[in-house]
Structure 1
Amino acid sequence: MGAGTEFLVQLVDALPDDALRAPSGLPGWTRAHVVAHVARNAEALTRLAEWARTGVETPMYADAEQRAAEIESSSRFPADRLRRELSTTADALDVALSRLDDGDWRATVRSALGREIPAAEVPWMRVREVWLHAVDLASGATVSDLPPEVVDTLLDDVTGVLSGKDGCPRAVLTATDRDRTWPLGPEGATLQVHGPAASLLAWLTGRGDGSALTTLDGDLPTPPRWI
């Protein structure tokens, strides 16, 4: 989590101020929207940490409309404020997590989608945010820049979520750069997809077109939306 935050902050700091207003890799969002979202996400996850520690229910967001409004308004902040809040909110999250004891980590909280989770999942939720949104800045970073252990754990996460969605293709994903496979979709896979693990992840999360992948039994399918 800390390494991902540092990677993202370095990318943002390397951008000229006016470049923050350029389009990001996410439709309809500028780079400033991405930075604003990551900062507000740190605050939302800090609320979950406080919920776990105190037992007082403090959801990530009141509702989806509040979340969207906060991102939109924050994206208009001056560049220096955006950069500052990206770091200060991450530091505050670190402090909040450091205050949790063994019992707190087992406390049940809720994700933004309403899923009940143990507080122990909060750091992983942040890992996903900082590393993947570093790619979404569209400033040169790609999924291949993610640490191998992050790529593999994201593949575990993404294939698990997508497999439970309607329209998910049946496939077995085989990484050509390590001894790993991931099942995708209902049991009884009919398609074999091969490629570097980072390319598999980029394709599944909509951060790559699958051009680095090959299939043995047909055309590359289109996976459903992840999150």
Structure 2
Amino acid sequence: MTGPAADLATLQDATDRLLASLDDLDDAGVAQPSRLPGWSRGHVLAHLARNADALVNVLRGRLMYPSEAARDADIERDAHRPADVHRADLRDSADRLAATAAALTDEQWRATVTLRNGVTDRATTIPFRRWVEIELHHIDLDIGRTVADLPGAFLDRALEYLTERFAGHPGVVPLELRAEDGRHWRTGRPEGEPQVITGTPAALVGWLSGRTSGSGLATGDSLPGLPAL
């Protein structure tokens, strides 16, 4: 199994892990703060559910969100629901996304789609983008999962994804990221001598994604700031 089918299967596994980790979360736990400033765990769960529906829109050729204000309002509206409602919504929205994706033809998978803020990409990237949302926000829920728990296959692809995302960014100093296994990536502004940062794939992804302050990384200078994802 390769291509979108393989990515969809991997995404389903990650979603199932997330849902299983929510089994013991009660209403009081949902209301507790997440690791994201200003968001409760309920906000994170509401975002994940509405993101799934937004990606359905993308795969059907519609706007991902009607507007940024509408996106934010939907998250705020849904954040304060009981834990059981969150679990059901997350499961149902994930099923809607999976069903929509499973119905796409090869031609539709090759099509260019429009994401948030006018970003365009191939439809084939949508399952991985959703996988990123699931893995990183699973950490943000602060229910025991950390970057050390991220699967190796995810870390490898996330490093490529995140370094590409920051490549050429005027607000990111030139960087050369080196994994302890010898792999390396260049990102940030193209001009200038890059700052070398070395660490495990988990430590690199944790820092690049804003999920850690850079613990476990080695560099000759202080770590530079990175824009939010």
TM-score (norm 2): 0.90
- How large is the Cα RMSD of the aligned pairs? 1.4
Match of 1:54 in 2: none
2:198 aligned with 1:190, yes or no? no
Aligned residue for 1:10, secondary structure, equals helix
> How many angstroms apart in 2 are the aligned matches of 1:190 and 1:107?
36
2:99 aligned with 1:95, yes or no? yes
> How many angstroms apart in 1 are the aligned matches of 2:56 and 2:189?
36
2:27 aligned with 1:24, yes or no? no
Unaligned runs of 5+ in 1: 52-57
Q: Is the 8 A contact 1:40 1:71 kept in 2?
A: yes
Match of 1:73 among 77, 98, 108: 77
Match of 2:55 in 1: 45
Match of 2:88 in 1: 84
TM-superposed CA distance for 1:152, in Å, is 1.6
Q: Is the 8 A contact 1:165 1:224 kept in 2?
A: no
Opposite residue 9 of structure 1, the aligned amino acid is: L
Match of 1:218 in 2: 221
TM-superposed CA distance for 1:37, in Å, is 0.5
Match of 2:157 in 1: 153
| Identity within the alignment, % | 38
Match of 2:183 among 180, 192, 211: 180
How many matched pairs? 218
2:134 aligned with 1:116, yes or no? no
Match of 1:35 among 15, 20, 45: 45
TM-superposed CA distance for 1:185, in Å, is 1.6
| Aligned CA distance change for structure 1 residues 189 and 171 (closer, same or farther; 3 Å) | farther
Opposite residue 32 of structure 1, the aligned amino acid is: G
Match of 1:55 in 2: none
Unaligned runs of 5+ in 2: 1-10
Aligned residue for 2:65, secondary structure, equals coil
Match of 2:19 among 9, 34, 37: 9
Opposite residue 65 of structure 1, the aligned amino acid is: A
> How many angstroms apart in 2 are the aligned matches of 1:219 and 1:50?
45
Opposite residue 186 of structure 2, the aligned amino acid is: P
Opposite residue 65 of structure 2, the aligned amino acid is: Y
Opposite residue 14 of structure 1, the aligned amino acid is: D
- 191-200 vs 24-33, which deviates more? 191-200
TM-superposed CA distance for 1:223, in Å, is 2.2
TM-superposed CA distance for 1:189, in Å, is 3.6
TM-superposed CA distance for 1:16, in Å, is 2.6
> How many angstroms apart in 2 are the aligned matches of 1:147 and 1:23?
25
> How many angstroms apart in 1 are the aligned matches of 2:157 and 2:145?
19
Match of 1:168 in 2: 172
TM-superposed CA distance for 1:184, in Å, is 2.1
TM-superposed CA distance for 1:17, in Å, is 2.4
TM-superposed CA distance for 1:212, in Å, is 0.9
| Aligned CA distance change for structure 1 residues 2 and 179 (closer, same or farther; 3 Å) | farther
